[in-house]
Amino acid sequence: MGVVSTRSYDRRAAVSLFSRLRTAKGQADPFPVYAELTARGGVSPAPWGGSLVTDFDVCDQILRSREWLEPDARWREQQGAGTRWNAPSSREMGKTLPALNPPEHTRVRRAAGGIDRTTIQQLGRTVETETDRLLDTLIEQLREGEADFAALVSEELPVATVGHWLELPAADWPRLRELTHEQVFTQELLPSATQLARSDAATAELRSYFVELVRDRRARPGEDPVSRWIQTWDAIEPDRAEADEQVYLLALFVVLAALETTSTLLTTMALRLVEHPDRWRLLGTCPDLVPAFVEESLRYDPPTHVISRVASRDVVLGGVEIRRDEMVHLMVAAAHRDPARHSEPDRFDPLRKSAHLAFSGGIHYCLGAPLARLEAQTLLRRLVQRLPRLTLVRPPAWAPRVAFRRPLNLDVTFA
């Protein structure tokens, strides 16, 4: 009885913390709220049921453990017909790689393959060319006064990189980017009915686009990843319609996963650079620090703040009872500031040995991490090589999100 009443009290307290997270102030800087959450204990009740985890080591263990599962199609169906988990967009996401559990996950992940060193080397040249092209535009605009780095650079580089990699026509890139921003709501923590409807519409349009793409590549195969995925699936799946469906799901998810997250990283990383003149100077004199600067940006404010799992059996986690099929939200951005893991966690320090969960962990570790790192490191290197110091004109505005961070602008000028 005592446990139940304490938990309902904690839930009420968590409601008030979460309502602060959803204000403009909370979006711009959610970290004071996370600190209060952490002060309640590494595992605490979520306002809407389930639990929130802010302890770094517990998040890390859950991601690596086979006892914690993704909310897969079976779990989504169990939540009931009228719930957000059964919106068409959520059901579609339930079929994609990050929502699968073993053994299906093992089979699909193997078929996807990795992004190997040769691919990264080949894409490296494209990323450099695209980066320079975008920085030319930025410089031109800066000569007139201020420029929005997010719109001119961060939003453009990921779609150009993935567009070249998958050989998607450049004319399609702006629409694909727009659709990925619309689609993300179904993956948010608490989407509203309106947001879910927008996500459903975006998902339907993306389905048509990628189904058509698979059909095209089957008719005219090339050397691109989509053509290779078709070959791989034909070898392991006798039903051709099912093989095509699997290739569609992979192409869809890769584009969804690659665009917004990487754009957010590029903007937050540039924000860290322009907000303190010392940092620009540091990278100018020590370019070898570029990779560490990117990793510290991923720790300090990762693009994905929340990763969710469900319990495969009843467990006690950090003193909190969690029932089978109950959801835990790993508040990874809060965990990155866990003082038990990093000293002075609120200080951005590219010289520290930065451990983070920005790309998740265990079997679902981000497949595109080498590509995201390639883009971020190339951009940072070229920025400090090519431009005199930039400075922030005004603090960025943030989209009203909790799980998927999205800075809407980054207005900069020559210092």
Residues contributing to the site for ligand HEM (CB under 6 A) = 97-98, 109, 253-254, 257-258, 261-262, 265, 302-304, 307, 358-360, 364, 366-368, 371-372
Is residue 108 within 8 A of residue 94, CB to CB? The reply is: no
Residue nearest to ligand HEM as judged by C-beta position: 368
Residue with Cβ nearer ligand HEM (255 or 322)? 255
Taking the complex as a whole, how short is the minimal distance between the CB of residue 223 and ligand HEM, in angstroms?
17
Taking the complex as a whole, how short is the minimal distance between the CB of residue 387 and ligand HEM, in angstroms?
22
Q: In what order do the strands lie in the sheet with 307-311?
A: 43-45, 51-53, 327-330, 307-311, 68-69
Taking the complex as a whole, how short is the minimal distance between the CB of residue 370 and ligand HEM, in angstroms?
9
First-residue to last-residue Cα distance in the chain: 61
Query: Which residue has tokens 């399609």?
Result: 172
Residue with Cβ nearer ligand HEM (348 or 414)? 348
Token pair of 379 as six digits: 């951009």
Taking the complex as a whole, how short is the minimal distance between the CB of residue 129 and ligand HEM, in angstroms?
18
Strands (E), 112-243: 147-148
Residue with Cβ nearer ligand HEM (142 or 330)? 330
Crossing angle between the packed helical segments 277-285 and 240-275, to the nearest 10 degrees: 110
Residue 301's identity, in one-letter code, is D
Taking the complex as a whole, how short is the minimal distance between the CB of residue 255 and ligand HEM, in angstroms?
8
Q: Are strands 51-53 and 327-330 parallel, antiparallel or unpaired?
A: parallel
Residue with Cβ nearer ligand HEM (36 or 326)? 326
Is residue 363 within 8 A of residue 105, CB to CB? The reply is: yes
Residue with Cβ nearer ligand HEM (308 or 409)? 308
Strands (E), 75-207: 147-148
Residue with Cβ nearer ligand HEM (88 or 362)? 362
Residue with Cβ nearer ligand HEM (37 or 298)? 298
Integer Rg of the chain from CA: 21
Taking the complex as a whole, how short is the minimal distance between the CB of residue 110 and ligand HEM, in angstroms?
10
Taking the complex as a whole, how short is the minimal distance between the CB of residue 146 and ligand HEM, in angstroms?
26
DSSP-assigned states of every residue in 8-45: HHHHHHHHHHHHHHTSHHHHH--HHHHHHHHHT-SEEE
